[in-house]
Amino acid sequence: MSIWAQLRTLPNLLSLLRLALVPVFLVLIVTGHSITAFIVLAIASITDWLDGYLARKLNQVTRIGALLDPAADRLYIFATLIGLAVTGAIPAWLPIVVIARDVLLAFTIPILAARNYGPLPVHFFGKAGTFALLYAFPLLLLADWWTVAQFVILPIAWAFALWGVGLYWYAGFLYVKQVFQLVKSTPRITLN
């Protein structure tokens, strides 16, 4: 199936919609429209679940979809972190810690490419960390808006955030370990 045909599947159109909403979401957070940002994030979360469900149900699992889905998740994580840090809803260390993990993993891409590997499959702990972070951020947004309920929402949100960061980094270490194992077992490809 061509790239264009893959992009026109319903699951991938939903992923593209999710990607298109990232800048809208970020602008809403930064400009103080927490309720609307929360609604956009909820829509994005629903489409995240729906695109995976439809891809499997309609037998439309594609390589492009496998790339779009985690890319959209990462962009929402980054947009939320940046927006919440800019507005002062979270401390600056949180975005630094989360983004630093992805910067570290970005250095593995050329190493894998030199051995004719693409990105390695997402590990369960990475999915769990992403899941926890994607639950923490709407709660942090909700707490920013619904100040009366902050005493209940914030502890839950921070529990998800801290567990998410821990699992996110643990998955990153597992990923780096896999890369080192591949480097040791696979010769580097040289162009003649």
Cβ-based neighbours of 8, under 8 Å, separated by 6 or more: none
Residue 163 lies in a domain: yes
Predicted pLDDT at 164? 95
Residue 190 lies in a domain: no
Longest dimension (CA), the chain: 67
Domain that holds residue 174: 3-185
pLDDT band at 191 (very low <50, low <70, confident <90, very high): low
Total structural domains within the chain: 1
| Percent over 70 (pLDDT), the chain | 97
Predicted pLDDT at 190? 64
Contact 90, 154 (CB under 8 A): no
Residue 192 lies in a domain: no
pTM: predicted TM-score of the whole model, two decimal places: 0.79
Joined together, the tokens standing for residue 71 give 């890319």
